[in-house]
Structures are given as C-alpha cells and as structure tokens.
Chains A and B, each alone.
Chain A
C-alpha cells in the first residue's frame, strides 16, 4: 500500500511539473495575446475573427486546456490536504472529477471559439 502510494505520489508530482512546463509556454503566449488583443478595446468580432476556423488556435487551446486540467486539480489537492482534514480516496476522486470537468468545459468553449 505504501509502495503504491509512493509511486502514485511520485507520478502525480511529475504530472504537475510536466504540465507546468507546458503551461510555461502556453501562458507566455496567452499573456502576449491578451496584452496585444486588449489594445483599443475588446470585441467578439476581433476575438472570433482571430480564432474562427484556425487549426493553430484549436491545437494551441486544446493543449492549453489539457495542461491546465492536469495542473490545477493536483495543485488544489495539495492545498486541501495541507490545510484541511480531507484526504484519501474521496479527495483523489474529486481531483479526477475536477480534471475531467475542466477538460469538458474548456473544450466546449474552444468549440464555440473555433467552430
């Protein structure tokens, strides 16, 4: 049991750091895009004009969403385990559900932006 936990925690840590590396790139691009896009005000036409039908933005945001869906729930799980009494299988389950929910809602939004 302790052996499984040791391996599981190690791989969770790795997933968090790997997704962090991916996010470092995605967030840099995202920040640059934001700062560029907000100049002169933000409109739906401007945003959708950039994203509609774009294979590049589809690929970029799809990867971005998956990386966030891995990174954020694992981070929240750590905070919950340290600051509250909640731990164990139920917390692990909630973490997985949060990840799936983020992917679902993220990709749904991408569908609206690119479709």
Chain B
C-alpha cells in the first residue's frame, strides 16, 4: 500500500540560495511545522529552523508558507497545500541567518525606537493607579496587548519592504497600547517617536498585518489611532 506524499520545497541558504525539494509522507492533522521537523530529523539534519512551544503560543515558528507569513505549528498542510506541494521560505523583510531562521534584531530595535517600553508617571509610587476596564482607552489598549512579537505582520507589510526605516505594524501597535495606558508618563515623547517619515504616517492601510495576524489583532486600526493622536498633538503644539 503506497503512502500519500507531500512535495515540499524549502529555502536553503541565506540571502542567496535556492529551493530544495523533499518528499514527506502525509499524516492526519499534519502541520507545516510537523513537515519541517520530519525533514530535519529524517532526511537532512543540516536544515535550520526555529520553533518552541509548537502549540500556537510563542510565535517562534513563523515562516512564509506558499507566499503567506504564518505560524507553521498552526497551519494544517491540508489547508495550504496546492497540487500536493508546499513551499516554505523564511519570513520576508528580515535578514536570513540560515535556511528558515531570520535575524529578528531589526524587528525588536524598531519596537524600542517606537517607544515600546512603559514609562511610569512621576508620582507613580505614591498610590495604586485606577484604570477603568471599560473606558475607551483601556478597551483600545486591550485590543492590542496580546501581541507576542512574532513578526508575521512585519513580514506581510509592503511598506516595511519599501521603506527601510518604517517602524512597522507591531512596533506601532505596541506604541498605541501604551499611548492608551492612563498610567503612562511619556506621551509626548511617544507621539514624537511614532510621527516622522518612518512612523505611523507611512501606513497606507493595506491591512496585510490585520489579514495575517495569528492573534487577530488590528495594527492598521492602532496606527490610525496614532495618526489621529499625532495630529491632535501637532495642532496643540505638543509635537
């Protein structure tokens, strides 16, 4: 009895390289991560890739599958295979270290540059902060705080490809959650960090970020909020 097989093309090399073809037996509920792991363990131990939790919590296994950035542990082969073929490449917009592993440094550098760090107000130690959970600001912040920094949105964004300085959807989404944090003491600096020619105004609402975010976040909406906030600050003379 012959086994059904899956044809797999995997990027091998770094910035310059080629696709190599493998054949993998199909299994029930097989994920793309299962496929990559099978190849690395049974066919080619030199294949480099990243994963950790394998249950859709950490975001480490993000790769480009048939052209689309996804979490490979949460992508069933049956959902994406075309003509029994799956093409797997590293995430776009980040330097390739080797094969399917990319260098995430730039992604997190931009996170920091966009002011992704909470800064308490001067009187913070004096008392507990009171944050109404159903206030408009808290709901806006809550809508974006589940981001785990997997870089799928960053990978899917054409503005990131076209404008090397563009902070990107994840960093800007994080900035928006902090702008909406009533405990935050760095609003003016935050808004200055996300305005400018590499900030929120570079977003064209292509919404690939929203389309592909595995946690169903809406960076486009967050960035729109930053656009409104920066304009208000500019008109008041705070920017």
Contact = CB atoms under 8 A, between A and B. Distances in A.
Q: Within the complex, are A and B direct neighbours (CB within 8 Å)? A: yes
A-B pairs with the 7 shortest C-beta distances?
Answer: A6-B195, A6-B196, A82-B162, A13-B201, A10-B234, A10-B195, A10-B230
B163 A6 contact: no
B233 to A, nearest CB: 8
Interface string A61-91: 0000000000000000000011100010000
Size category, B interface: 10 to 19
Given A3-B192, A82-B162, A10 B197 contact: no
B162 A6 contact: no
Given A5-B197, A14-B234, 16 more contacts: A2-B192, A5-B196, A6-B230, A7-B195, A9-B196, A9-B197, A9-B201, A10-B231, A13-B201, A13-B227, A14-B231, A14-B235, A81-B163, A82-B159, A82-B163, A83-B162
Contacts of A11: 234
Q: Contact size class for A? A: 10 to 19
Could you tell me the dominant secondary structure of chain B's interface residues? helix
Q: Is the interface of A mostly helix, strand, loop or mixed?
A: helix
B116 interface: no
Interface string A9-32: 111111000000000000000000
Given A3-B192, A5-B197, A81-B197, A10 B239 contact: yes
Interface of B: 159, 162-163, 191-193, 195-197, 199, 201, 227, 230-231, 233-235, 239
